[in-house]
Structure 1
Amino acid sequence: MLTQAVLATLATLAASQQVGTQKEEVHPSMTWQTCTSSGCTTNQGSIVVDANWRWVHNTEGYTNCYTGNTWNADYCTDNTECASNCALDGADYSGTYGATTSGDSLRLNFITNGQQKNIGSRMYLMQDDETYAVHKLLNKEFTFDVDTSKLPCGLNGAVYFVSMDADGGMAKFPDNKAGAKYGTGYCDSQCPRDLKFIDGKANVEGWVPSENDSNAGVGNLGSCCAEMDIWEANSISTAYTPHSCKTVAQHSCTGDDCGGTYSATRYAGDCDPDGCDFNSYRQGVKDFYGPGMTVDSNSVVTVVTQFITNDGTASGTLSEIKRFYVQNGKVIPNSESTIAGVSGNSITSAYCDAQKEVFGDNTSFQDQGGLASMSQALNAGMVLVMSIWDDHHSNMLWLDSDYPVDADPSQPGISRGTCPTTSGVPSEVEESAASAYVVYSNIKVGDLNSTFSA
């Protein structure tokens, strides 16, 4: 006779997000370094692909629970049932997702034609097979090398940090049996509602397939947290952008109250979807970043981001996010804003206040906590994300063109890059840029001025 404890365990498993056994999950290895003034030590880690890209099938066989942008009603009529009936399976990183590692380097291909066509990917850095690497960056710097030369208008090779749980949410949500090993637990400041699983449950209730993305849709649930965009870039434009949240840790939301890109009311949530960005082109310096420019996107560049505190210690509060580059043995300071009324070459509270006022942008960043919120997130520790993607909502024009497209590009803040306003349409770039890729390498985290040399 089964005891009550065993019955309770079986009931929990029956209602849980499951793990498949069709393919073993083997994470590609990737190293990164931790640095001090006396030198750097190498960490042996790996990467894992986000759960949203994985094959989801029924637990008793190999029938898809999700095909294209639609759930299978035989297994998924509500969030709990779907999570118990369906499993995430292991990944073929190179064959399916076009992701390959070598030492400290990660290459992400935009399009991979395996058994099915894969578009883009999102990877997380892991410290071991069950745990994301968590970085606490106050009074520290984060440095990496990047090659964006093969990323045209409309693509985004992104490196950023989010306040995900290190275990992918397993401890907080016992229904999640997949965890970090299978890339679960994602969140960001858009409170994304396109995630298939959130908090150990499926996101099938209220799911509406996308009209222009054959692989995606939007459900009732969203997953929110603070986000620090270190690098969003193609070969034409780049930006770095903190996004604040009133609650910095991962938390779920419901419906249009989530706000962000996926909701009818952009600013309805408790996270800032816009951020306080520094894009050199948008700040008036149109010859700083790009092919053949001061920071030459034709070549590999080292990107250094420093998180300065008010008292110069890791226990202080964030006061400045500083950026510079190293290329061809030369340290290149970030460009100075030349927009009237907006000065500086780093992100500070004063810069954000001035930029929002001069550009006429929403003050969501300040309203949701500003740099103080980002300080909390950096102090708690954040997970590193590396991705390549195209944009089904605004064609990446917010990064590399004039945006909004109906605004006067001569007005401050509208022009963000040289790409045409007709560029970036996903159906077009997925054909014309099918061979695009990005390479991230030489990741270092350490004390200020310890991760680079000129």
Structure 2
Amino acid sequence: MYSAVVLLSLYLAAVKAQQVGTSKAEVHPPLPWQKCTKSGGCVTQSSGKVVLDANWRWVHTTTGYTNCYTGQKWDTSICTDAVTCAKNCAVDGADYSGTYGITTSGNALTLKFVTQGSSGNNVGSRVYLMASDDTKYELFKLKNQEFTFDVDVSNLPCGLNGALYFSEMDADGGMSKYPNNKAGAKYGTGYCDAQCPKDIKFINGEANVVGWNGAPNDPNSGTGNYGTCCTEMDIWEANSMATAYTPHPCSANGQTRCTGSECSSICDQPGCDFNSYRMGDKSFYGKGLTIDTNKKITVVTQFITSDGTANGALTEIRRIY
């Protein structure tokens, strides 16, 4: 199976760029995790950290603090074309707790849906797990492995999506492939998924300015002509009322830019999901049910292969609570 980056999100969206600003230093919140084997037990990866996706960050001119993008519009005096915009605009460091409601404590990560900050309200967030060098994403090879985490969705109502998933992104956020991308994984660049989202403002080191139109239901978002596709494995999409896990394979390998109708044909966008309620068991998951969402839940996902090795064909994705 592909190498994938793990993402955690509480959903809605905002802004993305390619150069590096100097207004605020980027300090990644620590998030230690464990790597376990039958023979050696569990070893804590103490250097683990998380980084905020660049789509949520402030984007301004490299020579000052004028916004490159405000509300649903690009500043066309700065962003005259895709390449010029990427060269003229910088993404800055993040105030993780104050602006975005992202905090860590020991091996626990908390994402707030709405955070009231000095510049207004922030809605949602998306973070990635960083590798030990703090400039690349942690990659996972999933075949013949299992992935385990604890989650508390007791205060997450119907209509919200607390998600943990893998996405086939470049480890460096696309920095080595695209010369205009100077920010890289350290600033959360390079996002892609199986929906081939077109609301990503910088793709392949270029601004997604061509054909950009504001979103009808989001005052801070829009879509351009380009989307960004890659294989996605939704380990956990859930709230206190419902949950699903879903593989989304793609015909392309790795992060791939698309345009027009092509964006709906590269990946299996609906995916092959398992939702216990939809499958007929209406007493399995929810408040006070078999999997009681009033409590913290331990979620185990196993990637079973035909021969019990990492080289075998994937035959089953198994869920255990």
Partner of 2:290: 294
Report the alpha carbon displacement of residue 54 of structure 1 after superposing the two structures with TM. Answer: 0.4
Gaps of 5+ in 1: 1-15, 260-268, 326-454
Look up the match of 1:125: 129
SS of 2:99's equivalent? helix
TM-align CA RMSD: 1.0
Q: Where does the alignment leave 5 or more consecutive residues of structure 2 unmatched?
A: 1-16
**1:21-420 matches, cutoff 5 A:** 21-37=22-38, 38-43=40-45, 44-114=47-117, 115-127=119-131, 128-259=133-264, 269-325=265-321
One-letter amino acid of the counterpart of residue 293, structure 2 = S
Aligned AA for 2:70?
T
Q: Which moved more, 1:244-253 or 1:143-152?
A: 244-253
Q: Return the structure number with greater strand share.
A: 2
The SS at the match of 2:48 is: strand
Q: Distance in 2 between matches of 1:126 and 1:165?
A: 12
- AA matched with 1:42: T
Per-residue displacement from partner, 1:150-183 (whole Å, max 9, x unpaired)?
1101000000000000000111112211100000
- SS of structure 1 residue aligned to 2:87: helix
Shift of 1:221: 1.1
- Distance of 2:261 and 2:209 partners within structure 1: 16
Give per-residue Cα distances to partners, 1:20-58, cap 9 Å, x unaligned: 111111100111100011310011210001010000001
The letter for the 2-side match of 1:17 is Q
Structure 2-normalised TM-score? 0.92
Q: 1:23, 1:90 within 8 Å by CA — same for their partners in 2?
A: yes
AA of the residue aligned to 1:311: D
Which of the two has greater helix per residue?
Answer: 1
Q: Aligned-pair distance for 1:308?
A: 0.2
**Residue 77 of structure 1, CA deviation:** 2.4
State the distance in 2 between where 1:296 and 1:211 align: 37
- How many residue pairs get aligned? The number is 301
Distance in structure 1 (CA, Å) of the matches to 2:210 and 2:244: 35
Shift of 1:97: 0.5
SS at match of 2:261: helix
Question: Contact between 1:77 and 1:205, CA under 8 Å: does it hold in 2?
Answer: no
> What's the TM-score once normalised by structure 1's chain length?
0.65
Tell me the amino acid that sits aligned with residue 296 of structure 2.
V
Task: Say which one has the larger Rg.
Answer: 1
Work out whether residues 191 and 223 of structure 1, in 8 Å CA contact, stay in contact via their aligned partners in 2.
yes
SS at match of 2:122: strand
Structure 1's consecutive aligned runs of 4 or more residues displaced over 6 angstroms after TM superposition are none
- The whole-number CA distance in structure 2 between the counterparts of 1:83 and 1:144 is 37
